[in-house]
Structure 1
Amino acid sequence: MELTKIAFGGGCHWCTEAVFQSLIGVEKVEQGWVASTAKNNTFSEAVIVYFDENKIDLKTLIQIHLSTHKSTSNHSFRNKYRSAIYYVDAHQQEKSKEIMEELQPNFDAKIITQILEFKNFKPSTDEFQNYYQQNPEKPFCEKYINPKLTFLLEKFSNKVDQSKVSHLNSTT
């Protein structure tokens, strides 16, 4: 099985990692910092997602990404939490633009998510990898990540690997 690679940045990479790890067809998520070849080449929190296109498509991944972070809000932490889709080839770049244009009417405000070329990645330290899976009871996870996963269960339930979020079913 050949996996497709793309990266996403938005909010905290712990949150972004947990969202994508819970999806059917996402086989691997690497958490850390991504830089692009764009003018602003600073690193920001992001994840690399490796997925099986036979199980989940790029449109669904982008739709979930845009819906699970503040993709229409330009706040003071945008350098650290850049809202971005980091493409790895020209086809992904074009497809990502088309998908964002198609999804824009579903949002009340303009999507500010940038489509940037993936250039470099620095992984988080081991202690922060798989953060949610290792620490679902931590206050940060309960306050910030659980609501995102509950949203996924409500809006994208057919795309969620129920075994990865089964602990939420007893609390919702």
Structure 2
Amino acid sequence: MESKKIEQMTVGGGCFWCTEAIFDQIKGVEKVVSGYSGGSVPGTPTYREVCSALTGHAEVIQVTFDPTVVSFEDLFVIFMTSHDPTTLNKQGADRGTQYRSVIFYQNEKQKQIAENVLNEMAPYYENPIVTELSPLEKFHPAEDDHQNYYANNPSQGYCTAVISPKLAKLRKMHSDKLKQ
């Protein structure tokens, strides 16, 4: 019996509650974990520390997926269309370096695919893309109360005002990529 090949993608596009809810909907995605990457302080950061913008970490998600079902390129296109990659250190009302648009690539193949998609998508945006492209050094899972946030709190104010419209946009733009 052949073992399934899985890959991971680590990205940040504002609040991790939003990106987690989006990628939970995609065929071939096996797991989405909210967390933190890109910081320069030692140890495991907390949500409060990351929100202070003093640690240098971004709110990110780590997506575990089956590349025979969905490609890194497809996931990256979904990522780029699920947030505004042209705003520096903010998404909507969320402001600070922890909300930056960022791709943490895990190998040269991911880096090349990300660069290609960034270049291909640039003409579709009115303003320049400011998405950071950096090697993944460390991923820290966020606290348990931040995992599956939308699934556990769908009627919470932030979820209905911010995440639900993003999910509606996802269904409109990428319906062929959604789980049944």
TM-score range, shorter chain: 0.7 to 0.9
The list of structure 1 runs, each at least 4 consecutive aligned residues, that deviate by more than 3 angstroms after superposition, is: none
Tell me the percent identity. Answer: 33
Alpha-carbon separation, structure 2, partners of 1:78 and 1:126: 23
Q: For residues 136 and 34 of structure 1, what CA distance do their matches in structure 2 show? A: 26
Q: For 1:109-140, what per-residue CA distance to the aligned partner results, in whole angstroms no more than 9, with x for missing partners?
A: 21111111011122111122110111111111
Q: For structure 2, which runs of at least 5 residues remain unmatched after alignment?
A: 41-54
In the alignment, the residues of structure 1 paired with residue 27 and residue 118 of structure 2 have an alpha-carbon distance, to the nearest angstrom, of 22
Please report how far the alpha carbon of residue 99 of structure 1 lies from its aligned counterpart in structure 2 after TM superposition.
1.5
The separation in 1 between residues aligned to 2:117 and 2:39, in whole angstroms, is 20
Structure 1 residue 151 corresponds to structure 2 residue 165: no
Give the TM-score taking structure 2 as reference length.
0.83
Is residue 2:108 matched to residue 1:108?
no
Q: Which residue of 2 aligns with 1:70?
A: 84
Q: For structure 1, which runs of at least 5 residues remain unmatched after alignment?
A: 163-172
* CA distance, structure 2, for counterparts of residue 143 and residue 130 of structure 1: 17
Judge conservation of contact 1:24–1:160 (CA < 8 Å) in 2.
yes
Matches within 5 A, 1:5-154: 5-35=8-38, 42-75=56-89, 77-154=95-172
Alignment correspondent of 2:44: none
Who is 1:169 aligned against?
none
Contact 1:36 1:119 in 2 (8 A): no
TM-score, normalised via structure 1 length: 0.86
Tell me if the contact between 2:89 and 2:101 (Cα under 8 Å) persists in the aligned partners.
no
- Secondary structure of the residue aligned to 1:108 is coil
Secondary structure, in 3 states, of the residue corresponding to 1:119?
A: coil
Residues 57 and 36 of structure 1, relative CA distance in 2, 3 Å threshold: farther
Structure 2: distance between partners of 1:32 and 1:60: 22
| Displacement of 1:34 | 1.0
Q: Contact conserved, 2:89 with 2:100, CA < 8 A, in 1?
A: no
